Amino acid sequence: MSSEVIGREVKRRRTFAIISHPDAGKSTMTEALALHARMISEAGAVHGKGGRRSTVSDWMEMEKARGISVSSTALQFKYACEATGDDKDFPHVINLVDTPGHSDFSEDTYRVLTAVDAAVMLIDAAKGLEPQTLKLFQVCRHRGIPVITVINKWDRPGQTPLELIDEISERIGLIPTPMFLPVGIAGDFRGLLDRRTGDYVKFTRTAGGAKIAPEELLDADATAQAEGDAWTAAAEESELLSELGQDHDQEMFLAGQTSPMIFTSAMLNFGVRQLLETLVEFAPPPRGRESIDGVAREVTDPFSAVVFKVQAGMDSSHRDRLAYMRIVSGEFERGMVVNHAQTGKPFATKYAQAVFGRDRATVDTAYPGDVVGLVNAMTLAPGDTLYLDPKVQYPPIPSFAPEHFSSLRVTTADKYKQFRKAIDQLDAEGVVQVLRNDIRGDASPVLAAVGPMQFEVVTARMKAEFNVDTIIEPLGYALARRTDEASVAELNRQRGVEVFTRSDGAILALFSDKWRLQYIEKEHKDLHLEPLVAAAD
């Protein structure tokens, strides 16, 4: 495949994630985007009420029961963008990686953010910026990921547009540049003012928001008569923003200084097409990446990819494990034998699939920006690199500092074999960190997590996928530090300390509280005690 063809394929791809605080409407928005791309015939709530199809991204029973996302999923679809004049036979390819909404799963979300080129920051119109959104925005800023801001739930009472714009500017230093402003206050969502054309996009509700909302395009004069004060208010706000310099500037957006903004109701499917058009028109296409030795791998260079997620149990009829890889450079062809940088061994890609939620289809070719699932990839782990010569290895994805620790054991001895297999699988996926030492042995490993809900996922999946009942018992530890072999003997003599080896070979010392850690650091300055990466970093 020539670099010219690869370059052309790269230009039509957009790979992004949605970040938000829980209950901001992320899974509903994911569905709405798929609906507008004609990938599903109607949107359904997470619980599939009224016989409607359940959400394409939340497929775990635990997710459906609680109405939250606890695992990342990937969706790929094609979209012919009107704004860019797409040929319907050569549309844009959208790779949407859905992320867990709950802060307990921020480690999984961080992995996703290593695999995307842009992010949609979804904000509840009534609640404004919330803690989890702030944390994830900081990750985007640190990684240089441009952000598109979406104010969701405008069909419900909430703040004013200018209040939300000011809050974002003041709290995170990101200057919103609305592409569309709402006509009608929060709770009375009538349509959108297109700030570039001055036209009015009027929406019509559908039953339960199950179908794409019909749109009617009106000019300013016709709208002024139809909408009266609501249109006048939106037009005046648009003029004020222009006077303040808050119009879209592509260079400032890509530099992370500004953020295109859109007002939507994912539940009603209002503003969703405008979001898709904004993503296609302004979000950056895939770009090259620096290797671990600082050498850039360009998108037109030979094939390379990074594994950012490993997931099993997506379908009870398939006992396989799927490794999600983000293609960084070159063309991928199913069946090609590539190199696994971490082991130095060849890796065959016979079973490669495009993923839509948990539905799959065989993929024969893919390009930079695409997310491809490799089936039964038992040797792959998050952060691994696959490549064709010349050799390349990308920086690893760090494990976050755990803050919660529990021991896990099986309830009946006859299930011990399945118990060991399940632990190994969940560990390889990165669902939790698994710690072991000689005293506790393999029968009672210690699970380390960023948030306690990760333990619930472990026990639920143990039961659902392996038919293993387990008992989980919280331990009296509050923080961990990386240590070394030379420090282990002294640490084991200390009260309130226990030393373990993590599956990746790292030696971790667990401490009962920060005061115990401070005392030991003061009394034993020769010990190696290194902080781990914090979840909010």
Length of the chain: 537
Residue 39, helix vs strand vs coil: coil
Q: What stretch of H or E contains 458?
A: helix 453-466
Cα–Cα nearest to 140, from 251, 34, 259, 244: 259
Q: DSSP class of residue 88?
A: T
pLDDT at site 45: 39
For 256, other C-beta atoms within 10 Å of its C-beta total 17
How far apart, in whole angstroms, are the C-alpha atoms of residue 450 and residue 504? 17
All structural domains of the chain with their residue ranges: 3-282, 289-387, 404-523
Does the annotation list 36 as a binding residue? no
In CATH, the number for domain 404-523 is: 3.30.70.3280
How far apart, in whole angstroms, are the C-alpha atoms of residue 524 and residue 537? 28
| Superfamily for the 289-387 domain | P-loop containing nucleotide triphosphate hydrolases (3.40.50.300)
The H helix count followed by the E strand count for the chain is 14, 30
Sheet arrangement for strand 404-410: 470-474, 404-410, 446-449, 433-436, 497-502, 507-511, 479-483
pLDDT at site 139: 85
pLDDT at site 513: 95
Cα–Cα nearest to 536, from 475, 453, 451: 451
Q: What stretch of H or E contains 325?
A: strand 321-329
In CATH, the number for domain 3-282 is: 3.40.50.300
User: Using omega within 30 degrees of 0 as the cis cutoff, is the peptide bond preceding 390 cis?
Assistant: yes
For tokens 């072999």, name the residue. Answer: 485
How far apart, in whole angstroms, are the C-alpha atoms of residue 120 and residue 112? 13
Domains 3-282 and 404-523 belong to one CATH topology = no
How far apart, in whole angstroms, are the C-alpha atoms of residue 387 and residue 385? 7
Question: CA distances (Å), 470 to each of 71, 315, 409, 410, 465, in order?
Answer: 21, 22, 6, 4, 13
User: pLDDT under 50 in the chain at which residues?
Assistant: 45-59, 63, 67-71, 318, 537
Does the annotation list 271 as a binding residue? no
Phi-psi group of 158: left, alpha or beta (phi > 0 → left; psi -120 to 50 → alpha; rest → beta)? beta
CB 230 within 8 A of CB 248: no
For 467, other C-beta atoms within 10 Å of its C-beta total 10
Question: CA distances (Å), 443 to each of 417, 428, 437, 471, 501, in order?
Answer: 10, 18, 11, 12, 15
Q: DSSP class of residue 91?
A: -
pLDDT at site 4: 92
> Which residues are 315's β-sheet partners?
318
Number of alpha carbons in the 13 Å side-chain half-sphere of residue 36: 26
pLDDT at site 38: 81
The residue type found at 7 is G
Tens digit of each residue's pLDDT (9 = 90 or more) over 431-452: 889 999 999 988 899 999 988 8
> Which residues are 310's β-sheet partners?
323
Does the annotation list 100 as a binding residue? yes
Question: CA distances (Å), 328 to each of 280, 305, 471, 490, in order?
Answer: 19, 5, 42, 45
Is the sign of the CA dihedral 350, 356, 361, 362 positive or negative? negative
Cα–Cα nearest to 468, from 504, 423, 438: 423
Cα–Cα nearest to 326, from 58, 111, 20, 137: 111
Cα–Cα nearest to 352, from 307, 298, 315: 307
Query: How is 337-389 classified by DSSP, letter by letter?
Result: EEEETTTTEEEE--SEEEEETTEEEE-SEE-TT-EEEEET-TT--TT-EEE-S
Cα–Cα nearest to 96, from 330, 276, 307, 247: 276
Does the annotation list 22 as a binding residue? no
Cα R_g (the chain), whole angstroms: 25
Question: CA distances (Å), 288 to each of 110, 142, 172, 330, 422, in order?
Answer: 19, 17, 28, 10, 36
pTM given for the model: 0.83
pLDDT at site 48: 43
Does the annotation list 99 as a binding residue? yes
How far apart, in whole angstroms, are the C-alpha atoms of residue 269 and residue 258? 25
CB 528 within 8 A of CB 483: yes
Residue 284 dihedral angles phi and psi, to the nearest 5°: -75, 150
Q: What stretch of H or E contains 449?
A: strand 446-449
CB 373 within 8 A of CB 360: yes
For tokens 């599939």, name the residue. Answer: 48
How far apart, in whole angstroms, are the C-alpha atoms of residue 453 and residue 456? 5
